[in-house]
Structure 1
Amino acid sequence: MSGWNSVRNILCIRPDNMGDLIMSGPALRKLKQGLDARITVLTSSMAAGVTPFMPEIDDTIIFDLPWVKTANAEGPETLLKLIGGLKEYNFDAAVIFTVYSQNPLPSAMIAYQAGISRVLAYCRENPYGLISDWVPDEEPFQYITHQVERDLKLANYVCDANIDKRLKLTVNDADWPLIADQLKQTGLDPDKPWLTLHAGVSEIKRQFPERLWIETAVQLISQGYQVLLTGSVGEKELINRLQRKIGLGAYNAAGLFSIKQLIILICHTPLLLSVNTGVTHIAAAVGTPVVVLYAQTNPQHTPWMVPSAVMEFPVPDGLKSKNGVIRQVDDIVYSDPAPMPQPAIIVDRVIGLIRPPFVSGRQFHEIQRENPELSANR
């Protein structure tokens, strides 16, 4: 696609969750390095907290767009203000990142109204004047790629820079002693074997049964591991209940850490055990091994280029998406629902992947550079 060599000021629209934005990091890096461009990201309030730690992002515009599932979608008047504000940036181009089940045209309309004439995006239908650089979307009916690969492929259409394809978040290790002290206040000793368990979900369909969380944690504790339970302020009730039922050896950190501190914590934890949610992509971005209990929803969002074990479990019929594209994938990819992972098997996967606690995520990235085979699933 021609005309991008002179592009230096790019609006990247990724108005979804934190994990979605983290997975777009390598594509943002490719655009930034390949075009020597300034990258401004338009994203949601749910993802905004992670943007200061993504080195590819120069500026962030936070807005909850009404066609994306967010907690606080803005109204039409504020949307017009957003468009007016975008005009003041004088963007050379816009790039719209989507999952294959999303329609890019509403975002393209924002770029159009903001006077951004050069727009790159996947689209299933002919966008005519809304998308100048149209890439026909063949997913998921022709093939399915990982979300990182999908986003990189889009960036490839306008630049061919050779970049590091791993997810990356900046980590300030100077804050680790303070976080370690906070862990000690919960009762956990970070100098003894431990791991982090994250049970909270952004969508109820990804929820793993509490009974199995409890049994898994009890078995891990019996193997000599301390289990740190993390979660947001809104997940305190869940985490309190899990800690109470797990008993001795489980420690409650719900609502204790900011995003910045959570990134550092995940960098230092020997392993993350979680459902498929944003924290798994934080782990991948700091080099922490992950065992993910993966609801059969989006097959393209598994942990990227980090040692991991993906253990799928079925989504109840009543909770499945009404989106026709996702239903089609469910009928094809998940036509044979996975059996529910049992605690003993989960514990085996954890023990097989857990790294020594003295290896930080940063050190692990260095080890990966010398031993690429450690990027177990990619």
Structure 2
Amino acid sequence: MTQPDAPSPSTIDRWQGVRRLLVVRLDNLGDVLMTTPAMAALRSAFPLAHITLLTSPSGAMLAPHIGVVDEVMAVTVPWMKGGPMRPAINPERFDLVERVRAGGHEAAIIFTTASQSPLPMAMVCWQAGVPLRLAHCRENPYDLLSDWVGDQEVVQDGMRHEVRRQLDLLSAIGVHSPDVGMVFELRAADQAGARAHLKRIGLPAGHAFVLMHPGATAPSRRYPAAFFGQALGQLMQRGLTCVFVGSGDDADLVREAHAAAGGHGLVLLNQLTLGELGALIQQASVLVCNNSGPAHLAAAVGTPVVDLYALTNPQHTPWQVPSRVLYHDVPCRNCLRSVCPQGHHACLREVAPAAVAGAVMDLLESSVHEQSRPAA
């Protein structure tokens, strides 16, 4: 990987007067969450600036919960998948250059993973007349970027976490922050709504529970739904209360998991806002889920998570929260594919439900141990 050199005084001078800043993160909700520490650092560095987040429709759902930005603009682009809400794109009506130009932005920072190119969006910002443009880039961008960090990062075990990658990019313009926590602001209505949903399915206020979310946008990142159900059954045999949650495309997975559990466990389906889901995760003792948005929500709100981690990419593990990351090692690891190219899905299918239940118990026992430890 390439760490940015210390910025020159002229670079700092060019950026320090920015008053209208465009922050670009065009992929999924979880990716946007992992960029919130960088957004918070920008807010601290540019306290008077109007900061606009340009993101996918999926990422834009975070708008009420990331107060470090002033405005969120949703867009669908042909070079990025951008989550399950991606509508069809009409090339003749693709007006992103005009939309960016209308914002009067003085600078743009384009956040990408190591497997994505910033150049399409850099071209948009250049055409829109945004003077300052920063990104990681694997090839020489010439005039498309005014400031850039050479990207030699390889998708492999041991690579930087996605949160750290984006914070490192900002150091190229002299922006640093000791606070690297993710941002997801819960409102009182979110907390009250989550409690009301739990009460409606028969769970009293304050009753401990394990939350299971079997969904993920990419099929390659889905632990078999039936295995979720089997793990839940084992946890209930140990006296734990378990709740399945899901919405939209997750509905069939939740039903399959619930059936595999013999109809045991409580179910919340198609009923929660994103804020209520975040509050529900915060109120849970442990979240069990795939490597997807809910795992990053858990990290943002401080809930321990058992992450069924498909070996599609290694840099998206739960950030700064107690976790157990479960997978079965395979030669085709780090494939970056949305559908298993080998067809066997062994990196997840070979993880036994008993291992999932064991990981939950391990986290619960660790939590009890921490709570009982005498204060220093």
TM-score (norm 2): 0.85
Deviation at 1:38, TM superposition (A): 2.4
The equivalent residue for 2:23 is 12
The equivalent residue for 2:3 is none
Mapped contact 2:213–2:287 kept (Cα < 8 A): yes
The equivalent residue for 2:87 is 72
Percent identity between matched residues is 34
Which residues in structure 2 correspond to 1:125-136 (within 5 Å)? Answer: 125-136=139-150
Aligned Cα RMSD in Å? 2.9
Kindly provide the amino acid, as one letter, of the partner of residue 353 in structure 2: P
Q: Which runs of 5+ in 2 are unaligned?
A: 1-6
- Tell me: CA distance 1:46–1:160, structure 2 relative to 1, closer, same or farther (3 Å): closer
* Stretch of structure 1 that moved more, 231-240 or 9-18: 231-240
Which residues in structure 2 correspond to 1:219-230 (within 5 Å)? Answer: 219-230=234-245
The equivalent residue for 1:139 is 153
Kindly provide the amino acid, as one letter, of the partner of residue 231 in structure 1: G
The equivalent residue for 2:4 is none
From 282, 304, 320, give the equivalent of 1:289.
304
| Deviation sequence 1:47-78 (CA, Å, 0-9, x none) | 11112201222101100111111421432233
The equivalent residue for 2:180 is 165
Deviation at 1:345, TM superposition (A): 2.2
Quick one: distance in 1 between partners of 2:97 and 2:365? Answer: 47
Deviation at 1:44, TM superposition (A): 0.5
Mapped contact 1:98–1:104 kept (Cα < 8 A): yes
Mapped contact 1:66–1:75 kept (Cα < 8 A): no
The equivalent residue for 2:40 is 29
Mapped contact 1:12–1:96 kept (Cα < 8 A): yes
- Tell me: CA distance 1:27–1:309, structure 2 relative to 1, closer, same or farther (3 Å): same
Which residues in structure 2 correspond to 1:115-126 (within 5 Å)? Answer: 115-126=129-140
Deviation at 1:265, TM superposition (A): 1.1
Kindly provide the amino acid, as one letter, of the partner of residue 8 in structure 1: R
The equivalent residue for 1:57 is 69
From 231, 235, 249, give the equivalent of 2:250.
235
Quick one: distance in 2 between partners of 1:195 and 1:259? Answer: 18
Q: Which runs of 5+ in 1 are unaligned?
A: 331-335, 359-363, 365-369, 372-378
Kindly provide the amino acid, as one letter, of the partner of residue 362 in structure 2: G
The equivalent residue for 2:285 is 270
Mapped contact 2:25–2:54 kept (Cα < 8 A): yes
The equivalent residue for 1:46 is 58
TM-score (norm 1): 0.85
| Deviation sequence 1:8-54 (CA, Å, 0-9, x none) | 21101101000000000011111121133322111001111112201
From 78, 93, 97, give the equivalent of 2:107.
93
SS at match of 1:240: helix
Kindly provide the amino acid, as one letter, of the partner of residue 285 in structure 2: P
Kindly provide the amino acid, as one letter, of the partner of residue 28 in structure 2: N
SS at match of 1:295: coil
* Stretch of structure 1 that moved more, 312-321 or 257-266: 312-321
Quick one: distance in 2 between partners of 1:339 and 1:230? Answer: 21
Mapped contact 1:297–1:315 kept (Cα < 8 A): no
Quick one: distance in 2 between partners of 1:229 and 1:190? Answer: 17
The equivalent residue for 1:205 is 220
Quick one: distance in 2 between partners of 1:259 and 1:126? Answer: 39
Deviation at 1:209, TM superposition (A): 1.8
| Deviation sequence 1:77-106 (CA, Å, 0-9, x none) | 3322x3212212111100000000001100
Deviation at 1:353, TM superposition (A): 1.3
